[in-house]
Homo-oligomer: A and B are copies of this chain.
Amino acid sequence: MTAKNLPFEQSEYDMRMVRVRNAMSEKSLDAIIISDPSNMAWLTGYDGWSFYVHQCVVLPMQGNPLCFVRAQDRNGAIRTVWMPDDDCHGYDEKLVQNLPQHPMQELAAVMHERGIAAGRIGVEMDNYWYSAQAHVELVNGLHSATLVDATGLVNWQRAIKSTTEISYMKIAGQIVTRMHSRIRDLIEPGLPKNEMVAEIYHSGCLGIDGHGGDYPAIVPLLPSGSDASAPHLTWNDDPFKSGESTFFEIAGCYKRYHCPTSRTIFLGTPPRRFLDVEKAVVEGIDAGLEQARAGNQCQEIAHAFCSILEKRTGIKKESRCGYPVGISYPPDWGERTMSLRPGDETILQVGMTFHFIPAVWQDDWGMEITESFVITEHGAETLADVPRALFVKP
């Protein structure tokens, strides 16, 4: 076997399998096909930028998971998963992007060979990485099985983080703290935005104290002025301008674990409404974090923030105020389970980690001041340490 250098002890992977199998039992599943790379990595350690072709992990109720990747990626699987090489299957290269041939045809055959092709088999119906065609192929190929929607089943098991996971997220928090400090130092009117992004990446990859930075699941988002009403614009080579604000939505990342944190910077003298909203947002974050206690519900954090925002500024927030974070691959660093929004009654528990993003996007401007936090025995603990304010550079 190739030397491996996994980010977690075997006992932690074992515990994760137990959690997933308990959830599978509740749904009377005999196996689950996991297409989400974040779920694959969390369960087996599999790591690599190979999710642009079909791949998955199959976990039956007994025995090891099967890591099913393209032939070319089998060496990557062998190097990164905790299972022995026999549990890494590389499918025929001819099946890569070569319709009507499809990798799921070979997966069905392999599952038959391994005796895990019958019964109730979960699939992640609403996951990016499980295409409509993949489902058609598996329905055809696994004719003695019933495919059952198991979207989010594994994601939910990721919600409560281990001590090691939290330690990685705290390193990510230190990385993003340094990234924001670099941004504040460098920003000035006339600096092209792409040059700022060069520095953001540089700082994020350097990491901190010998802990190298990994790639965040989302690229830096930094719209300025009225473009800041559009949360997901990336960047171009226009310069920052005096009289405009820019929000920086970025994350530190360490061993695939994320700490997203956003801040907004105003170049020049901010108008009254900016300062008013800043004050309300900061007060609302305090109120939200106060509610981020084990035993409370997700929605209580949102209620606390939104009521202060509305009372102080008249702004009604329509979008959610946050989501869980942890291990992730593109395109999203959120876990896609809970949301910090009205109606989400999930009970908060110690070890859960969230990106609290009570952003304000108006028609011609926007402000993001956000915090990632972990719920401890004593309430919320933030993971980064960036001054919680609208930063003004006159």
A residues with a Cβ closer than 8 A to B are 2, 5, 47-52, 71-73, 75-76, 78-80, 93, 96-99, 102, 123, 125-136, 149, 151-152, 192-195, 197-199, 201-207, 210-215, 218-219, 221, 226-227, 229-237, 318-320, 323, 330-332, 334, 336, 339, 361, 363
Contact = CB atoms under 8 A, between A and B. Distances in A.
B128 A133 contact: no
A234 B205 contact: no
Contacts of A75: 229-230, 361, 363
A225 to B, nearest CB: 11
Contacts of A199: 202
A57 B203 CA distance: 36
Contacts of A226: 2
A131 B133 contact: no
Chain A to chain B: the 3 pairs with minimum beta-carbon distance, closest first: A212-B237, A194-B212, A201-B201
Central interface residue in A50, A132, A218, by most chain B CB within 10 Å: A132
A332 B53 CA distance: 9
A132 B128 contact: no
B232 A212 contact: no
21 contacts: A5-B236, A47-B233, A47-B234, A49-B331, A52-B332, A71-B318, A71-B319, A72-B231, A73-B231, A73-B232, A75-B229, A97-B336, A126-B131, A131-B132, A132-B134, A198-B204, A198-B206, A198-B213, A199-B202, A211-B237, A330-B331
A193 B132 CA distance: 38
Contacts of A331: 49, 51-52, 330-331
Given A76-B233, A219-B215, A323 B97 contact: yes
